[in-house]
Amino acid sequence: MKQKLSIVKIGGYLIEEEARLSKILDLFSKIEGNKILVHGGGKKATEIGNKLGIETKMSNGRRITDIQSLDVAVMVYSGLVSKNIVAQLQAIGINALGMSGADGNTIQAYKRPVKDVDFGLVGDVKEVNAYGIFQLLQVGFTPVFCALTHDGKGQLLNTNADTIAAEVAIGLSQDFDTTLYYCFEKKGVLQDIEDEDSVITHIDSKNYDVLLAKGIIADGMLPKMHNCFYALRNNVAKVCIGDDSMLSENNSNFTTLTL
């Protein structure tokens, strides 16, 4: 039987507020078995970028990563956010190791090809070095990934943290019985966006199409759902979406996705 592995992605305001972050790290530390944390850090990067006078460049609502923005992302994601999370996890007994995809060559990517838009130094994942991550888990480390990859030729690349979580989960599903948790600011996928208590507790391929057709899943939720089903179709056992309380043992009020 495969060993269990939990991959938890945290983002948005969960990592902006100190007390909230402490709470989620505490819940994460209590997860039994192998585990991996993946974090974003976008808001903090925007804040530091603004202070440094670096404009956030957008094209059709999508962020463009030029070399200056990448430097800020590297400083904030793999520096400020990663190392503070690692230090806090160490303080509660988790032997965390903060990593970008360049570290241990764990996640290689290629620069996104230019079609209508040149996104700049943005990477689409090419390969997850599952064996390298497996080795770290086996010797007792808990990898903490930020939203950065590399191209294997010396260039760091900005890669969406949700995507990194999905790709790492897929890469490790050959060796592990993997559950992927997407923690964000809502309790789950909501039937009614205005009603926090209207969590849809289970989504599978069948009712997903219905929810899409009804427009219940729309906007920012679409790429998240895309990542979830992409992971499920590639051997990830289970994907869960909810807020930090999803990691508590006695809570079942979140969205579970299966094929």
Please give the structure tokens belonging to residue 252: 């079942």
Helix (H, G, I), strand (E, B) or coil at 180: strand
Q: Is 76 in the site for its own copies (CB under 8 A)?
A: yes
Is residue 143 a contact partner of residue 36, using CB atoms and an 8 Å limit?
yes
Stretch binding its own copies (CB under 8 A), from 77-85, 214-222, 229-237, 239-247? 77-85
Q: Is 30 in the site for its own copies (CB under 8 A)?
A: no
Is residue 140 a contact partner of residue 121, using CB atoms and an 8 Å limit?
no
Q: Is 53 in the site for its own copies (CB under 8 A)?
A: yes
101 is in an annotated binding site: no
Helix (H, G, I), strand (E, B) or coil at 70: helix
Q: Is 82 in the site for its own copies (CB under 8 A)?
A: yes
Contact residue for its own copies among 75, 130, 211, 216 (CB under 8 A): 75
Helix (H, G, I), strand (E, B) or coil at 109: strand
CA angle 47/27/174 to nearest 5° reads 95
207 is in an annotated binding site: no
**Closer of 40 and 188 to its own copies (Cβ):** 40
Beta bridge partners of 187: none
Binding site residue list for substrate = 41-42, 63, 158
Question: By the criterion CB under 8 A, which residues form the site for its own copies?
Answer: 48, 51-53, 71, 74-80, 82-84, 86-88, 90-91, 95-100, 102-105, 132, 135-136, 139, 141, 148, 150, 152-156
